[in-house]
Amino acid sequence: MTYAFDFASLLEYRDILLAGTLRTLALTAIGTFFGLALGVLGAASRAWQLAPWNRVFAVYVELIRNTPFLVQLFFIFFGLPSLGVSINEWQASILAMVINLGAYSTEIIRAGIEATPRGQIEAAESLAMTRRQIFLRVVLAPALRKVWPAICSQVVIVMLGSSVCSQIAAEELTFAANFIQSRNFRAFETYFVVTGMYFLLALAIRQLMLRAGDRLIGGRRT
C-alpha cells in the first residue's frame, strides 16, 4: 500500500493556520511579559527573604513545578467557574501560562540575583541607596543578563506548552491543526506542517529574545 502525499490540500486552510500561529504568538507574548514580571517579583521575594512573600512564592513555585501544565489549565478553566469566577478560554490560557512561567522564572531569576557579588550591594548601600533602589538599579539588570539564555529556553518551553490550550478550545495553532485534519483527513501532512511551524517559531522566538536581551537589559554583557 502506498500513501499519496498531498500537501497542496493544506493550502486552502492557510488562513486558519496563520490565525492559529498569530494566536499562539500572542498567547506567548502576553504570557511571557506577565510571567517574567511575576518571576522578578517572586525572585526578589525569595532571594531577599521578604516576608511573607518569600513563603508564598516558595509554596507557589513548588505547586506549579510539580504538577502538569494541562491539569493547571483545567483547574483554572473548569475549576474557577465552579467558584463563581467566569473565565473564557483565552483568559484561562493566558492565566495558566503566566502562572506557569512565573513559577519557573522565579527560580531562574533568583539564581541570577543570588549570584550578585556581595560587594556591589555593599557599595550601593554605602552610597545610601535604599533596598528597592539597589534591587532595581544595581542587582536586576546583571541578574537578568546572567540568566537570560535560561529564560529564553523557558519561554520556548511555554510557547510549545501552549499547544495544550487547544484542549479548552482556545483556537491556537494546535487547535487549527486538529480542526484541519478533521476536515481534510490528512493527518500526516497537517501535523508535519504544524510541527515544522512550531519548530520555526521556537527558533525565531529564541533568537529574537536573545537579541532583545542584548539590547533591552541595558549595559554590556558581564
Partner 1 sequence: MALVRIDGLHKHFGSNHVLKGINLKVERGEVVALIGRSGSGKSTLLRSINGLERFEDGLIEVDGERLHAGQTNLRDLRQKVGMVFQQFNLFPHLSAGQNVMLAPEVVKKLPKAECESIARAMLAKVGLAEKFDAYPDQLSGGQQQRVAIARALAMQPQVLLCDEITSALDPELVSEVLAVVKTLAAEGMTLVMVTHEMRFAREVGDTLVFMHEGRIHESGAPDTLFTRPRTPELANFIGSIH
| Residue from the set 142, 155, 159, 174 that interacts with partner 1 by CB under 8 A | 142
Work out which of 120, 182, 195, 207 binds partner 1, going by CB under 8 A. 120
How many residues sit close enough to partner 1 to count as binding (CB under 8 A)?
23
145 binds partner 1 (CB under 8 A): yes
Q: Could you say whether residue 137 binds partner 1 (CB under 8 A)?
A: yes
Contacts (Cβ under 8 Å, ≥6 apart) of 100: 31, 35, 64, 69, 72, 158, 161
For partner 1, give the closer residue by CB, 121 or 157. Answer: 121
Give me the residue label for grid cell 537589559: 217
Place of cell 494566536: 23
The widest CA-to-CA distance across the chain, in whole angstroms, is 79
Site string for partner 1, 198-217 (x = CB under 8 A): -------------------x
Q: Where are the alpha helices (DSSP H) in 77-186?
A: 80-82, 89-114, 118-126, 131-134, 140-161, 173-184
Q: What angle do CA 185, 191, 196 make, to 5 degrees?
A: 150
Out of 18, 63, 71, 127, the residue judged to bind partner 1 by CB under 8 A: 127
Q: Which of 2, 66, 82, 222 binds partner 1 (CB under 8 A)?
A: 222
Smallest gap from Cβ 134 to partner 1, in A, equals 9
- The residue to which cell 541578574 is assigned: 143
CB of residue 205 to partner 1, shortest distance in Å:
24
Q: Using the minimum distance from each CB to partner 1, give the nearer residue, 23 or 145.
A: 145
Cβ contact 106:61 at 8 Å: yes
Provide the 3-class DSSP secondary structure of residue 63.
helix
Q: Could you tell me the smallest distance in angstroms from the CB atom of residue 111 to partner 1?
A: 17
Query: What does the binding site for partner 1 look like in residue numbers (CB under 8 A)?
Result: 117, 119-120, 122-130, 133, 137-138, 141-142, 145, 217-220, 222
